[in-house]
C-alpha cells in the first residue's frame, strides 16, 4: 500500500510515515519503485508451493526441509523454483 501511495497517489515521505510505515521502509520504497509488488508475488508463490508440497507429501512434509531447499536453491525465476520444489516433493522417500 505504501509503495502505491508514494508512486501513484504522490504521498510525501511524511505521509507514508504517518500511515505507519517505518522511515527505513519508506526510503526503500522511494528508491526502489515497484519493489514491494514482486516481493509480494514471490511470497504468494512460495506459500502456494509450500501448500502443494504439503499436500503431496502429507505426513512426510517437513517445513524445515522445505525452507532449506528454497533458501539453498538461491536466486532463480519462480518457474524454476516451482520445478525444484515439485521434483523434491515427487522424489521417493
Q: What residue ranges do the domains of the chain occupy?
A: 2-31, 36-90
Evaluate if residue 29 carries a pLDDT over 90.
no
Burial string for 21-50 (b: 16+ CB within 10 Å, else e) reads: beeeebeebeeeeeebeeeeeeeeebeebb
The whole-angstrom separation of Cα 72 and Cα 89 is 16
Predicted pLDDT at 2: 66
More confident residue, 1 or 86: 86
What does pTM read for this prediction? Answer: 0.74
Q: How confident is the model at residue 35 (pLDDT cuts 50, 70, 90)?
A: confident
- For residue 5, give every residue at least 6 positions away whose Cβ sits within 8 Å of its Cβ, in sequence order, or none: 11, 15, 16, 19
Closest CA to 93 of 50, 55, 61: 61
Amino acid at each position: 500500500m505504501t509503495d502505491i501511495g508514494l508512486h501513484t497517489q504522490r504521498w510525501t515521505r511524511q505521509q507514508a510515515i504517518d500511515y505507519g510505515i517505518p522511515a527505513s521502509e519508506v526510503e526503500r520504497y522511494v528508491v526502489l519503485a515497484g519493489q514491494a509488488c514482486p516481493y509480494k508475488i514471490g511470497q504468494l508463490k512460495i506459500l502456494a508451493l509450500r501448500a502443494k508440497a504439503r499436500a503431496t507429501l502429507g505426513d512426510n512434509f517437513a517445513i524445515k526441509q522445505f525452507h532449506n531447499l528454497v533458501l539453498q536453491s538461491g536466486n532463480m525465476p519462480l518457474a524454476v523454483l516451482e520445478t525444484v520444489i515439485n521434483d523434491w516433493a515427487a522424489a521417493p522417500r
